[in-house]
Copies of this chain bind each other. A is one copy, B any other.
Amino acid sequence: MAVIKAEVRSGAYYDSIVLMQLQRALAEQPGVEDAGVVMGTHANKEVLAQSSLLVAEAEAAGNDDLIIVVRGTDETSAQAALAKVNELVAARRGRAGDQEYHPRSLETAAKMLPEAQWVLVSVPGRYAAGVSRQALRLNKHVFLYSDNVSLEDEVALKQEAAQKGLLVMGPDCGTAIVNGIGLGFANKVRKGPIGLVAASGTGLQQVTVRIHQMGGGITHALGTGGRDLSEAVNAVTARQGLDLMARDPDTKVIVLVSKPPSSKIADTLIQAARSVGKPVVVNFIGYASASRRVDNVFFATTFDETAELAIRLIDSPEDFAAQPDLSRFAPGQRYLRGLFSGGTLQCEALLILQNYVPVVYSNAPLDKKNKLEDSLVSKGHTVIDLGEDEFTVGRLHPMMDNDLRIRRLEKEASDSEVAVILLDVVLGFGAHDDPASELAPAIAAAIRSAKEAGRRLEVVAIVSGTDGDPQGIEVQIQRLRDAGAKTEISNDAGARYVGRLLKAIERASQPGTGPTIKPVDLQALKNPLAGINVGLESFAESLKDQGAQAVHVDWKPVAGSSERLVSILERMRQAQ
């Protein structure tokens, strides 16, 4: 009959590779059916219980105690296996094979490898903040793989780092690729023009992998740790990363990935992304965006789509850094008046415009609270659907009869606060047989009288029709242009143009004083990567495998495993 024997060691520190290897070695001992070597946390005890290994001694162990448990075919085998624990651990240490000298402290490592820009930290969570703080003190960027780090520590570390122009990627940051070298878990990905910032480990890996598989490549992929986009952390690292990618001349397309962020932080980051002058693909997993595109920001919902979009945007002919022309607007000119004949075109325009201006009033608004009290009287930004039932009792549809629209156009154009008029001109069978013949003179007159009053009136006409339509689309467009209107054949493009213009006008009148962050030196990404590794030795080996310089620190917690003492020592050191 099987016999279970357990041993609990208090205050012992072994790194998790040692524990895994010890467990495996025990399981291979003669007469041993199963073995468990785990720290005495609640979750770990449950795992033991599921394997029927949780005996009373193990159950009594605390979070910081090491449980070693063995199930043997008989008492002797179980006892014999347990008795070999020290020997097996020592053997593992001997087998490590690596005869290199390992410094015992970060300070020594930094002297050995002064060009190191990075410190990789993968010690157990309770020690990780302390090690990271030492790294910042040495002016190193930190790749903080460890999890189980407190939120308070994360906030403190990131704020300290940001003040020094340093990055703290993490805690719980699984992956990064800097200048072709992977930190932590990372794939071998082609170099190319896509730069990534992600509060997500395997998400970032999957996107970089898919980019590679689809033939694309990356500049850098920066992790931020999964909590970076929480309100408490305030996306410090993500904003630093975005700023780096914006400044990096090799990065043509930026990708932002995160597990579902706080919606406040998501908005902040999207606003930041809109001002980088490069296309940005955003995948905030599960973030439902009513628009798939806002300016230079494109929303994706899966990693595949993120990779596809990023690759497609590399060769986009659009100039994402272009700024709208604001010349000749008079002070006070700022409002849009949209006069639509097409209800759904109006609806799409409203939807797009809400990405640019806070409120657009309408007789048919997206949100009832923005309904005009009087459809005939505009206020602020207003976009009217003149095809609504209220306007068509005993009256032809505005696609057939331009009278009402022209009267309204004259009225709006005379308003000194109006900067832009947006119209749709719908061609096709059934519609007016020559709308430009009536609209163009009215537009020309409106622009002329605004000009006489010292204002610039921007008129944008969306012409919806095909080359087969009876009105002759080319002639209609030419006539509207001759009258001074800007024309678009896409409602989407027309509304976005107007949105950007309105936003630029608004921004020009209220110069922003948003929070700025201290820029991180781009050279941190550009110089050949060199890293100091504290924790999982395999991460140092991995750096070397990739041709990067690395020094591994033979780290042990100070004063045994007592993190309280560590913290006291830490504070004493800080006080010096």
Q: A16-B396, A39-B394, A202-B464 are in contact. Are A186 and B344 (CB under 8 A)?
A: no
Distance, CA A206 to CA B545, complexed state (A)? 56
Question: Looking across the interface, which residue of chain B has its beta carbon closest to that of A395?
Answer: B16
Q: Cβ of A174: which chain B residues have Cβ within 8 Å of it?
A: 387, 397, 399
On whether the beta carbons of B302 and A492 are closer than 8 Å, the reply is yes
A351: chain B residues at CB < 8 Å are 285-286, 301
Q: How far is the CA of A20 from the CA of B405 in the complex (A)?
A: 14
Q: Does A2 have its Cβ within 8 Å of any Cβ on chain B?
A: no
Residue from B63, B187, B292, B343 within 8 A of A259 (CB atoms): B343
Docked CA distance A417–B200 (Å): 32
Residues of B within 8 A of A124 (CB): 393-394
Would you call A431 and B50 a contact (CB within 8 A)?
no
Asked if A148 and B392 make an inter-chain contact with CB atoms under 8 angstroms apart, the answer reads yes
State the Cβ distance, A574 to closest chain B Cβ, in Å.
Answer: 27
Q: Is A83 an interface residue (CB 8 A)?
A: no
CB <8 Å contact, A44 and B394: yes
A338: Cβ under 8 A from any B Cβ: no
Contact of A428 among B188, B344, B466 (CB under 8 A): B188
Residues of B within 8 A of A401 (CB): 16, 20
| B187 and A348 contacting across the interface, CB-CB below 8 Å | no
Give complex CA distance A40, B403 in Å.
Answer: 17
Q: Is the beta-carbon distance between B395 and A44 smaller than 8 angstroms?
A: yes
CB pairs A–B below 8 angstroms (12 shown): A38-B395, A39-B394, A46-B376, A148-B392, A182-B430, A185-B428, A188-B470, A189-B468, A213-B489, A287-B290, A292-B301, A396-B536
Contact A285 B343 (CB under 8 A): no
**Given A20-B395, A427-B187, are A260 and B366 neighbors across the interface (CB < 8 Å)?**
yes
**Residues of chain B contacted by A531 (CB below 8 angstroms):** none
Question: Which residues of B lie under 8 Å from residue A185 when comparing CB positions?
Answer: 397, 399, 426, 428-431
Contact between chains at B344 and A201 (CB < 8 Å): yes
Instruction: Give bound CA distance, A23 to B402, whole Å.
Output: 13
For A210, give its contact among B44, B202, B424, B490 (CB under 8 Å): B490
Given A148-B389, A466-B209, residue A203 in contact with residue B344 (CB < 8 A): yes
Alpha-carbon gap, A66 to B395, bound state (A): 11
Q: Return the chain B residue nearest A350 by Cβ.
A: B286
Q: Which residues of B contact A39 (CB under 8 A)?
A: 393-395
- Nearest 3 pairs between A and B by C-beta? A202-B342, A188-B468, A203-B344
> In whole angstroms, how far apart are the Cα atoms of A380 and B213 in the complex?
35
Q: Is A558 an interface residue (CB 8 A)?
A: no
Residues of A whose CB lies within 8 Å of any CB of B are 16-17, 19-20, 23, 38-39, 41, 43-44, 46-47, 50-51, 63, 66, 124-125, 147-148, 172, 174-175, 182, 184-190, 200-206, 209-210, 212-213, 226, 257, 259-260, 285-293, 300-305, 341-345, 347-348, 351-352, 366, 374-376, 387, 389-397, 399-401, 403-404, 407, 411, 424, 426-431, 464-470, 489-493, 536, 538-539, 542, 545-546
**A343 cross-chain contacts in B, Cβ below 8 A:** 200-202, 226, 259
- Copies of this chain in its oligomeric complex: 2
- B206 close to A345 (CB less than 8 A): yes
Are A189 and B538 touching (Cβ within 8 A)? no
A545→B431 CA distance, assembly (Å)? 13
Contacts of A46 on B, CB cut-off 8 Å? 374, 376
| Bound: A341/B536 CA distance, A | 18
Q: Which residues of B contact A290 (CB under 8 A)?
A: 286-288, 301
| Contact status A407-B50, CB under 8 Å | yes
Tell me, in angstroms, the Cα distance from A285 to B257 when the chains sit together: 25
Instruction: Tell me the minimal C-beta distance from A287 to chain B in angstroms.
Output: 7
Q: Min CB distance, A140 to chain B, in Å?
A: 20
Q: Contact: B304 with A41, CB < 8 Å? A: no
Q: How far is the CA of A400 from the CA of B206 in the complex (A)?
A: 17
In the complex, what residue of chain B is closest to A376 when comparing beta carbons? B46
Interchain nearest-CB distance for A41 vs B (Å): 5
Contact check, A464 vs B205: say whether CB atoms are below 8 A apart: yes
Given the interface contacts A202-B424, A394-B44, does A182 sit within 8 Å of B542 by beta carbon?
no
- Kindly list chain B residues whose C-beta atoms are within 8 Å of the C-beta of A426: 185, 202, 205
Report yes or no: A291 in contact with B285, Cβ–Cβ below 8 A: no
Contacts of A392 in B (CB 8 A): 16, 147-148
Pick from B291, B342, B391: contact of A205, CB under 8 Å: B342
